[in-house]
């Protein structure tokens, strides 16, 4: 009798986790659906996935969506991200004839955009850490004397 009650508890626990997973997936799907609608009405072309990320970020920051409501699905998607890039890789391979027309220009574009991204990331992290884009010498001396 005790064995059947523990089995029943395990089934309820597992079904609760599955329901929770589908509920989280539905939350992300609704946000993606809203981003698809926004994409259709935007005057500038922007991928719905980017709009969806911004919407999810805003929803998480404002508390509309709690982290627990999307954490399991988000972790699962992040753990399988390499699998999700396979279609993009196949698309690049299918576009090799187009890419081979100007390889130097493409390599230069990749290098310049990487440098630009690194600079922007550095400025953004500096802004977040020091609350100032260009900290003065006095602030640096105060920070170093406090830390040391």
Q: What is the pLDDT of residue 124?
A: 87
Q: Give CA separation, 15 vs 12, 18, 21, 29, 47, in Å.
A: 5, 5, 10, 21, 35
Supply the range of the domain harboring residue 35. 1-85
- The answer to the question of residue 53 being in a domain is yes
pTM check: above 0.85: no
> Considering its fold, how many domains does the chain have in total?
2
Q: Label residue 15 by pLDDT band (50, 70, 90).
A: low
Residue owning tokens 């919407």: 55
| 40 and 78 both lie in a single domain | yes
User: Is the pLDDT assigned to residue 144 strictly greater than 60?
Assistant: no
- The answer to the question of residue 22 being in a domain is yes
User: Is the pLDDT assigned to residue 81 strictly greater than 80?
Assistant: yes
Q: What is the pLDDT of residues 92-119, one digit of tens each?
A: 888 888 888 888 998 999 999 999 999 9
| 66 and 126 both lie in a single domain | no
Residue owning tokens 């999700």: 84
| 73 and 36 both lie in a single domain | yes
Question: What are the residues whose beta carbons fall under 8 Å from the beta carbon of 36, sequence distance 6 or more?
Answer: 48
- The answer to the question of residue 92 being in a domain is no
| 52 and 13 both lie in a single domain | yes
| 6 and 32 both lie in a single domain | yes
Q: Label residue 52 by pLDDT band (50, 70, 90).
A: very high
| 106 and 58 both lie in a single domain | no
């Amino acid at each position: 009798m005790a064995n059947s009650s523990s089995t029943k508890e395990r089934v309820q626990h597992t079904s609760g986790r599955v329901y929770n997973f589908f509920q989280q997936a539905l939350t992300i799907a609704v946000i993606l659906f809203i981003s698809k609608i926004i994409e259709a009405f935007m005057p500038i072309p922007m991928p719905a996935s980017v709009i969806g990320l911004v919407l999810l970020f805003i929803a998480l920051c404002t508390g509309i969506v709690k982290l627990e409501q999307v954490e399991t699905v988000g972790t699962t998607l992040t753990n399988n991200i390499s699998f999700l890039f396979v279609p993009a890789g196949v698309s690049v391979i299918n576009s090799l004839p187009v890419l081979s027309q100007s390889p130097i220009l493409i390599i230069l574009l990749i290098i310049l955009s990487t440098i630009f991204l690194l600079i922007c990331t550095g400025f953004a992290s500096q802004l977040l850490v020091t609350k100032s884009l260009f900290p003065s010498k006095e602030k640096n001396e105060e920070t170093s004397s406090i830390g040391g």
